[in-house]
């Protein structure tokens, strides 16, 4: 379906277009990240190594530092990355289990 949501003011058309362009780029980056998650799921030696709490917190720490450097709200960055990590772990388990 190609129906577009109504635009509440003329300035929103450009803003929405720019958001759509960024979303396409984000999808590409997430697909690249997923490929790496799949590679990890294929090489990890044991199922219990798929979830690594120390690595989760390391990733969050790195992301929050980068978020601060790029002026991204931690209220956006942290929950987004925590969900991304949890979804990635679930995907990695499925890859691991299919070996």
Report pLDDT digits (tens) over 25-71: 999 999 999 999 999 999 999 999 999 999 999 999 999 999 999 99
- Phi, psi for residue 92 in degrees, rounded to 5: -65, -40
* Cβ contact 63:81 at 8 Å: yes
4-8, 47-51, 91-95: which range is least confident on average? 4-8
Give the domain ranges of the chain: 11-97
Given this model, what pLDDT does residue 7 score?
A: 86
CATH (residue range 11-97) = 1.20.59.10
Give the global pTM.
0.91
d(CA 97, CA 9): 50
């Amino acid at each position: 379906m190609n129906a577009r949501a109504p635009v509440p003011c003329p300035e929103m058309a450009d803003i929405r277009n720019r958001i759509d362009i960024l979303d396409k780029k984000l999808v590409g980056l997430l697909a690249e990240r997923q490929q790496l998650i799949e590679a990890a799921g294929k090489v990890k030696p044991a199922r219990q190594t798929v979830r690594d709490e120390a690595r989760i917190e390391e990733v969050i720490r790195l992301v929050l530092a980068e978020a601060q450097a790029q002026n991204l709200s931690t209220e956006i960055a942290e929950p987004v990355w925590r969900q991304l990590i949890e979804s990635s772990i679930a995907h990695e388990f499925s890859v691991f289990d299919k070996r």
